[in-house]
Structure 1
């Protein structure tokens, strides 16, 4: 399916716009339109983008504490041991699991908490560890051997919390899981081009529920608030806008189970190793033991990498749509199964029927406690949530494979179609080749119509987390004149061109002649400069971009959970917001640009030419500084990958 299939739905006509004068006008049609029924734009709302975990989690913790009725959470991952508001260290503060238990069990205004998280099976947990400690105290560390262990206290806390949550042992807290059935795979991939490798097939089979949203006190409209998030409820996602090098407030992970640290150093039991009443190790033995344990923990651990992410706090009628999305997810979720129950069909096929019947009975019983939950909410009209001073309009967008919805893909198509000056994209994955082709087509249509002003494209992404993502990233980079940023693929493309097997990849100068000017960068941080000498190579660290933001012409923007890749456009469930709130779009652009270069860029709706040149210069300067061991200016460097690509994954 082309990204331009629905272009005719956006044809301009004179209309009445009561949200912005002049009231009879030809205004750009930012709102997503499809032949299917989707969430429409909501007016009288209030939007507040929040950049990086320190800001979003601090704001969120206060909203959670202020809750009086209910909290509904959807997340890709959930880590009850994470601390939302931190002191001098990652564990300095209250764990979110304790916070939720506190508000759910308090004497006055106890809050009903409902949590829905993506969980497919033990293989998914081994690969992603998105619900750390999910299998409880019996199997507390599944997934840790691949991505790192938490501290002993954190790991134990999570396992104990999930033991209680999965058995309905937490007062007023319901925890459920959901997955994307493989039966939806063919429908999701209809009209999409996808790689055919075994690794790619495995990725398709494990489609995920990647939405992140929170809805607080929905049943009390004047106080209701919601979030659509890039951030996960996982400790890795806490960071500051400054992305300080090895900030101790970010989580520390361990290569091996940290409980094994106590095997280091001298044996401070009795000489026989058996319990001897009254035996006490010497002070020297205790000191040597402590130093050996700490040395082991320091040697085999690391501070979580810096994370760049953006979420959005919302109020107003859009909460009606957030509630609809949550209620739909709740009905499609299930109570958690134990690890043994998950493995039973594989280990003992004869157990499958009995287990299926038992699970069905449990699910029916679990669905009965709140018969008025959905009915009560369904009678509340969206107009109840309209804010007297709400100046913003917003549309909730989804990729929802269970319901055949791809409005986020249509959003990217239309933002690019309406663009007249610039687009800024900060995204974890820039791997959707149809978008790159669509960008070129849209700009060519502008030029064919006589619009000859240059278009500026600012792209920020991270080094792909696996070499299987390199080729999909290169497929985009090469289409937008950034082939040279990926050395191995670029050289291979040049060799194919020499042999007449393919066209030479377009250079930036060639693309600029057709009206498209592109910079493609990544974000980095570094240590403070030493008193003598320069920084070492290991004192620079790439900032992991997890944000999913696009801003067009200081006039419209989208943000949320969706990456610019095949998974988010078609396979995984995702949740974004789209808004034409120009004041918010401009401020968000200024804040994100300031992070990159220290400069906000031009005044609203002004020419981006000088800013584009400034980005190019800053990227070049920082590359030079990094090679010379100097402190970086801002955080942006040119995107650069130099390794052999693996077989493409999805």
Structure 2
């Protein structure tokens, strides 16, 4: 077990003796659950099926059980009864197990996400190690277009807690950028956004070069009557090339703009609308139907104050709570807790497991517990009745106020919430 798992909700940078708690600097945010009842039968099925796989490896010299799928046949679903002594005052919930599995091919977690995001009407909350599954945003945009056609005016609000650190974001900045582009929030990872756009424009130039070569080769065999058409084709290619070069010049200017103040970008006035996505030349609806806060979490130092840097061998090092959670909540009624990250691997390739419930009472309680932890128990930022999108809009504004305050007040932060900001321009594509 990773030492970080012994962290608690204080998320302190302090280390403790190995037998007393977390024995490493980096705090970890995670969400666990106790499950009883018939849903355990399904969890056991997944475990036994995985255990019996041909590629399961014997570790050490201990005897291991085999043919677990055969052994479990003596059990039936009704053998697993709920333990009313555990959970939220013994309240019984309807629950379902969903999974990603490679053989046989199962993508239930992805299907659950894509289906339920098309049913949300007020807000989405994701607390996840990664934030890079663009099909989820695409499905939402499709859902919003239908809602707008039916007369919906107010947006749906997306509250996201994730990682911006090298260790947390891993090798997936390209797909993270794709997700942010669809949401119109490339401002939180601006240098990757600019580098990706520059790559795209360079590819467009190469394609235009190929097109020009084809037109000129065709000209070798042209008949006189076709000369005007060939000239027009060459003119069109050249006009497109000039536009691409102008765009590359403009993007280069954006890359160097405010370069000297990159380290203090989070001190700027964030009450104004950012539109880096439009500045980079992407189409973005004036009313996309969604507003998104992309946030990270700050830990506490030895004195109990929230910090976003700490001293290591005399140098300032970034301090960020490592978000390991895989939790999604929608409209204070839908909850997913599992092992699946918001990325392609977890949705379509790896072996993952999750449990989902549909219960307002338990979902709201979980959301309020998490938001209370992240917002410093700010009641305006953590209200009841979040199924009402007007209430969600007010909560969204309260989060914005917290974000603004935590940008302007150095070394005196009032809670863990901090806007995501990653200035490293490196583009990685492993996931």
TM-score calculated relative to the size of structure 2 = 0.70
Task: Please give the secondary structure, in 1, of the residue aligned with 2:342.
Answer: coil
Aligned residues: CA RMSD? 3.4
Q: 1:515 to 1:329 in 2, by over 3 A?
A: same
Task: Please give the secondary structure, in 1, of the residue aligned with 2:355.
Answer: strand
Q: 1:475 to 1:535 in 2, by over 3 A?
A: closer
> Which of residues 375, 378, 381 is equivalent to 2:73?
378
Q: 1:251 to 1:614 in 2, by over 3 A?
A: farther
Aligned length: 337
Q: Distance in 2 between matches of 1:638 and 1:380?
A: 49
Task: Measure how far apart 1:303 and its partner are.
Answer: 2.7
> Which of residues 316, 322, 325 is equivalent to 1:544?
322
Matches within 5 A, 1:137-216: none
Match of 2:58 in 1: 336
Q: Distance in 2 between matches of 1:530 and 1:306?
A: 13
Q: 1:416 to 1:556 in 2, by over 3 A?
A: same
Task: Measure how far apart 1:609 and its partner are.
Answer: 1.4
> Which of residues 378, 391, 416 is equivalent to 1:635?
416
Q: 1:245 to 1:444 in 2, by over 3 A?
A: same
Q: Distance in 1 between matches of 2:59 and 2:49?
A: 21
Q: Deviations over 1:165-194 (max 9, x none)?
A: xxxxxxxxxxxxxxxxxxxxxxxxxxxxxx
Task: Measure how far apart 1:583 and its partner are.
Answer: 1.2
Task: Measure how far apart 1:251 and its partner are.
Answer: 9.3
2:372 pairs with 1:624? no
Q: Distance in 1 between matches of 2:80 and 2:4?
A: 34
Task: Measure how far apart 1:423 and its partner are.
Answer: 0.3
Gap regions ≥5 residues in structure 1 = 1-232, 253-301, 339-361
Task: Measure how far apart 1:334 and its partner are.
Answer: 3.4
Give the conservation status (yes or no) of the 8 Å contact 1:548–1:562. Answer: yes
Match of 1:315 in 2: 36
Task: Measure how far apart 1:395 and its partner are.
Answer: 0.6
2:99 pairs with 1:398? yes
Task: Please give the secondary structure, in 2, of the residue aligned with 1:644.
Answer: coil
Gap regions ≥5 residues in structure 2 = 85-89, 202-243, 252-274
Task: Please give the secondary structure, in 2, of the residue aligned with 1:594.
Answer: helix
Task: Measure how far apart 1:451 and its partner are.
Answer: 2.5
Q: Distance in 2 between matches of 1:539 and 1:632?
A: 17
Q: 1:450 to 1:498 in 2, by over 3 A?
A: farther
2:420 pairs with 1:644? no
> Which of residues 609, 612, 636 is equivalent to 2:393?
609
Q: 1:235 to 1:528 in 2, by over 3 A?
A: closer
Q: 1:504 to 1:482 in 2, by over 3 A?
A: closer
Task: Measure how far apart 1:615 and its partner are.
Answer: 0.8
Q: Deviations over 1:574-613 (max 9, x none)?
A: 0011110221110111011112112251113341112101
Task: Please give the secondary structure, in 2, of the residue aligned with 1:316.
Answer: coil
Q: Distance in 2 between matches of 1:512 and 1:525?
A: 36
Matches within 5 A, 1:117-516: 233-248=1-16, 303-332=24-53, 334-336=56-58, 374-387=69-82, 391-463=92-164, 464-465=166-167, 468-492=171-195, 499-500=246-247, 505-506=277-278, 513-516=287-290
Q: Distance in 1 between matches of 2:101 and 2:324?
A: 20
Q: Distance in 2 between matches of 1:303 and 1:370?
A: 37
Give the conservation status (yes or no) of the 8 Å contact 1:549–1:559. Answer: yes
Task: Measure how far apart 1:528 and its partner are.
Answer: 4.9
Task: Measure how far apart 1:433 and its partner are.
Answer: 1.6
Q: Deviations over 1:213-233 (max 9, x none)?
A: xxxxxxxxxxxxxxxxxxxx3
Q: Distance in 2 between matches of 1:530 and 1:567?
A: 37
Match of 2:350 in 1: 572
Give the conservation status (yes or no) of the 8 Å contact 2:310–2:319. Answer: no
Q: Distance in 2 between matches of 1:438 and 1:506?
A: 21
Q: Deviations over 1:401-444 (max 9, x none)?
A: 11100001011112211101000001101111212222222112
Q: Distance in 2 between matches of 1:468 and 1:315?
A: 37
Q: 1:573 to 1:596 in 2, by over 3 A?
A: same
Task: Measure how far apart 1:646 and its partner are.
Answer: 3.4
2:363 pairs with 1:585? yes
2:304 pairs with 1:526? no
**Larger helix proportion, structure 1 or 2?**
2
Give the conservation status (yes or no) of the 8 Å contact 1:557–1:579. Answer: yes
Q: 1:442 to 1:535 in 2, by over 3 A?
A: closer
Q: 1:336 to 1:616 in 2, by over 3 A?
A: same
Match of 1:346 in 2: none
Task: Measure how far apart 1:494 and its partner are.
Answer: 7.0
Match of 2:264 in 1: none
